[in-house]
Structure 1
Amino acid sequence: MGICNSNGVIRDFAGPYFVSEDLMAFGNPTKYWQLSPQKATNGQAGWDAAVAEASEIYKKRMHIIFYDNCHSHVATALNIMNYGGCKNWNMVKLAFYMIPYSKYVSFGAFLKTWLPFLIIVAFICGLAAII
């Protein structure tokens, strides 16, 4: 998960002490949730400042996959900018909000996301039927 500044440059907490720019850790985005910089305190300038500040914070942090990760980086940016008047963004809330509010960039992106999982499930079900 990453967050763009107002120029469309994606910032991603991609690993320990590293926040990438337009080079996400797991490849190009397959889904996106279009947020509005106008909902940030001080609008676009506040948005950009919050994304930059969150990135500077996370450049000094160890990446912990289940606790302090890319979702946490995005949540920190949203908290700093007080997005939508809310200061309780967290990685779990973001993960759940991505379900109803996000869109796939293409049908191919949808397949890239779900096809490997469906193949594994089908394989397990096939093995279960044999046994």
Structure 2
Amino acid sequence: MAFGWPTKYWALDPYRAQGGPTSFDRSISLAQKNIGRMHNLFCDNCHSHVAMALNLMHYDGSTNWNMVKLCLLMLVHGKYINFVGFLKTWLPFTFVAGGIIALVVLM
């Protein structure tokens, strides 16, 4: 894992894929063939891989899945693996934001 192990997940329903669970599994397998490529932070990452699989399976009747839409829906529907996952997600941001706010207030 290039950026660490997942801390949050969104459990998708295979029956919401066009063609049901069989199509769900087949689409994941097809998208998996592209996983060997080098991923980067901004444009070709694990979110792009998931969006490709969702587009292939026409999840929820949609073929316009992308990493931005996926990110926003993960914020709404995602569940943290555990409390440590929550901390690993938000603690660094809290420290950086707190540091910036402290610098602005002190200046």
The TM-score with structure 2 as length reference comes to 0.87
Q: What is the alpha-carbon root mean square deviation over aligned residues?
A: 1.6
Quick check: 1:52 aligned with 2:9? no
Quick check: 1:98 aligned with 2:82? no
Gaps of 5+ in 2: none
Inter-partner Cα distance in structure 1 for 2:74 and 2:102: 31
Q: Alpha-carbon deviations, 1:74-102, whole Å to 9, x = none?
A: 11000111111111111111011111111
SS in structure 2 opposite 1:72? helix
Partner of 1:115: 91
Shift of 1:111: 1.2
Aligned pair count? 107
Inter-partner Cα distance in structure 1 for 2:40 and 2:60: 28
Quick check: 1:80 aligned with 2:61? no
Partner of 1:67: 43
The letter for the 1-side match of 2:105 is A
Q: Which ranges of 4 or more aligned residues in structure 1 deviate by more than 6 Å?
A: none
Quick check: 1:36 aligned with 2:19? no
Higher strand share: 1
The letter for the 1-side match of 2:79 is K
The structure whose RCO (Cα within 8 Å, separation 6+) is larger is: 2
Gaps of 5+ in 1: 1-23
